[in-house]
């Protein structure tokens, strides 16, 4: 498909889906996110040559929030090995909200159901390589920056806003500490977790990360393996089964792409190569990043989800 056609379609589909922002609202429980402009909807798709296709509000910067969870999982597996990580967190969906305490309480043996819920992500963040919060944060940043090719920054306002209101996450961290699942003290574990959530990203960088995951940890632009195929495989399984929380089943059914959402309104999606229907776009796979801050009851961008659904249906992206 010609690039002009791809741009045209994306532009059209963004406008088709913009009204779905009415189906959600910006996350209210993190004060710094509550006042985001709810009508925004932007997308970036990156192909294997590094060419990007953008439409809508695509110059935005937003915080990673829960999207950081899949990246920290990948980073921890890369540094410490899959066995080490899967010993600490399981790979099962919960059927509860992302910040629920219930699954952790009832799951035996006592470890978080998966690394994409808060309990699992706090555990993973605390175990990143490094002895201190600063060291762990630096190692994580270097890992991500290695993938996108430049430095990232923390959104201090979002960090502080979340730090002050993280009562439930603090409670979760105490549970985790009691179960010997943290590599840090409670306040430190919370600190590293909230820092990762407050890292600022743009659509192009997020699409690049999606592209690398889609290609099994291989960066097709720089032509180098960043993390192993095995780690990428488990990451994609987690994205499909848990990445959109309690809508993961519906998302798999109607969109069918490994994806991870965040409450700031971002979605990271990885479209693996697909060799049939050669007349359709992005047959060699691509990374997709979407941003639209109005989120639904499950914590997923409302319009972002619908836009991905339309794109996937039109270009037959589903892996199923
Ligand atoms: O811990 C929290 O509640 C947020 N920092 C992240 C939650 C989140 O993004 C859930 N995703 N949809």
Cα of 99 from ligand 1 centre, angstroms: 8
Q: How far is CA 192 from CA 12, 170, 249, 288, in A?
A: 40, 12, 30, 26
Q: How far is CA 271 from CA 46, 212, 274, 287, 290, in A?
A: 10, 10, 9, 6, 13
pLDDT digits (tens, 9 = 90+) for 246-273: 999 999 999 999 999 999 999 999 999 9
Q: How confident is the model at residue 107 (pLDDT cuts 50, 70, 90)?
A: low
Q: What pLDDT was estimated at residue 54? A: 98
Burial class (CB in 10 A: 0-12, 13-18, 19+), 160: middle
- pLDDT of 109 > 70? The answer is no
Mind listing the domains of the chain with CATH numbers? 3-65+200-315 (3.40.710.10), 67-197 (3.40.710.10)
Percent helix / strand / coil, the chain, rounded to 5: 50, 10, 40
Residue nearest to atom 1 of ligand 1 (CA): 118
Q: Which of 27, 64, 65 to mutate to test the pocket of ligand 1 (most atoms within 8 A of CB)?
A: 65
Our CA angle for 183, 187, 189, nearest 5°, is 35
Q: Return the percentage of the chain with pLDDT > 70, whole number.
A: 99
Q: Which of 100, 114, 263, 301 to mutate to test the pocket of ligand 1 (most atoms within 8 A of CB)?
A: 263
pLDDT digits (tens, 9 = 90+) for 128-180: 999 999 999 999 999 999 999 999 999 999 999 999 999 999 999 999 999 89
Cα of 34 from ligand 1 centre, angstroms: 13
Q: Return the percentage of the chain with pLDDT > 90, whole number.
A: 90
Cα of 264 from ligand 1 centre, angstroms: 8
**Bond from prior residue into 109 cis (ω within 30 degrees of 0):** yes
Q: What pLDDT was estimated at residue 108? A: 61
pLDDT digits (tens, 9 = 90+) for 18-73: 999 999 999 999 999 999 999 999 999 999 999 999 999 999 999 999 999 999 99
Q: What pLDDT was estimated at residue 277? A: 83
pLDDT digits (tens, 9 = 90+) for 68-94: 999 999 999 999 999 999 999 999 988
| 97-112: average pLDDT | 76
Alpha-carbon distance of 281 to 159, in angstroms, equals 38
Cα of 262 from ligand 1 centre, angstroms: 6
| Contact of 190 with 169, CB cutoff 8 Å | yes
Q: How confident is the model at residue 111 (pLDDT cuts 50, 70, 90)?
A: confident
- Catalytic residue numbers, as ranges: 66, 69, 193, 245, 263
Alpha-carbon distance of 294 to 38, in angstroms, equals 5
* Annotation: binding site for substrate: 66, 118, 162, 169, 193, 245, 263
- Other beta carbons less than 10 A from residue 204's beta carbon: 18
Element (H, E) at 52: strand 52-56
Ligand 1: atom nearest CA of 66 is 9
* Annotation: binding site: 66, 118, 162, 169, 193, 245, 263
Q: What pLDDT was estimated at residue 95? A: 79
Could you tell me if residue 89 is left (phi over 0), alpha (psi between -120 and 50 degrees) or otherwise beta?
Answer: beta
Q: How confident is the model at residue 276 (pLDDT cuts 50, 70, 90)?
A: confident
Our CA angle for 180, 185, 187, nearest 5°, is 130
Q: What pLDDT was estimated at residue 101? A: 78
Q: How confident is the model at residue 278 (pLDDT cuts 50, 70, 90)?
A: confident
| Contact of 269 with 228, CB cutoff 8 Å | no
- Tokens representing residue 274 in the block: 């697909």
Q: How confident is the model at residue 316 (pLDDT cuts 50, 70, 90)?
A: very high
Q: Which of 29, 68, 99 to mutate to test the pocket of ligand 1 (most atoms within 8 A of CB)?
A: 99
Listed in sequence order, the residues at least 6 apart from 88 whose beta carbon sits closer than 8 Å to its beta carbon are 111, 112, 123, 124, 127, 181
Rounding to the nearest 10 degrees, give the CA dihedral for residues 166, 172, 178, 180: -100
Residue nearest to atom 11 of ligand 1 (CA): 262
| Contact of 66 with 121, CB cutoff 8 Å | yes
Cα of 66 from ligand 1 centre, angstroms: 5
Q: How confident is the model at residue 96 (pLDDT cuts 50, 70, 90)?
A: confident
Residue nearest to atom 3 of ligand 1 (CA): 99
Residue nearest to atom 8 of ligand 1 (CA): 66
For the chain, the average pLDDT equals: 95
Q: What pLDDT was estimated at residue 116? A: 97
Cα of 280 from ligand 1 centre, angstroms: 34
Closest to 308 (Cα-Cα) out of 280, 287, 284:
287
Our CA angle for 305, 218, 204, nearest 5°, is 45
**Ligand 1 residue neighbourhood (C-beta within 6 Å):** 65-66, 98-99, 118, 162, 169, 197, 261-263, 299
Q: What is the DSSP letter of 151?
A: -
């Amino acid at each position: 498909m010609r690039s002009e056609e791809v741009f045209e379609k994306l532009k059209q589909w963004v406008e088709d889906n913009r009204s779905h922002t009415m189906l959600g609202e910006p996350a209210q429980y993190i004060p710094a996110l509550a006042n985001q402009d709810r009508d925004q909807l932007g997308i970036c798709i990156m192909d294997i040559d590094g060419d990007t296709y953008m439409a809508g509000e695509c110059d935005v910067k937003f915080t990673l929030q829960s999207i950081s969870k899949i990246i920290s999982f990948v980073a921890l597996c890369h540094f410490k090995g899959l066995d080490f990580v899967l010993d600490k967190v399981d790979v099962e969906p919960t059927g509860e909200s992302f910040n629920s305490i219930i699954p952790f309480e009832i799951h035996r043996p006592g470890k978080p159901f998966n690394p994409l819920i808060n309990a699992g992500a706090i555990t993973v963040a605390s175990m990143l390589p490094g002895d201190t919060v600063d060291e762990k944060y630096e190692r994580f940043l270097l890992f991500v920056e290695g993938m996108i090719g430049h430095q990232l920054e923390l959104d201090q306002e979002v960090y502080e806003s979340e730090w002050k209101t993280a009562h439930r996450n603090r409670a979760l961290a105490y549970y985790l500490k009691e179960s010997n699942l943290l590599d840090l003290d409670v306040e430190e574990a919370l600190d590293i977790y909230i820092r990762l959530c407050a890292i600022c990203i743009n659509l192009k960088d997020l699409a690049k990360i999606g592209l690398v995951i889609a290609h099994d940890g291989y960066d097709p632009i720089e032509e180098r393996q960043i993390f192993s195929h095995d780690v990428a495989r488990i990451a994609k399984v987690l994205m499909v089964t848990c990445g959109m929380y309690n809508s993961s089943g519906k998302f798999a059914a109607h969109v069918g792409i490994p994806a991870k959402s965040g409450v700031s309104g971002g979605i990271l999606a990885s479209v693996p190569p697909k060799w049939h229907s050669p007349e359709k776009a992005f047959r060699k796979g691509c990374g997709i990043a979407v941003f639209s801050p109005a989120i639904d009851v499950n914590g997923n961008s409302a319009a972002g989800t619908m836009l991905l659904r339309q794109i996937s249906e039109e270009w037959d992206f589903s892996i199923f």
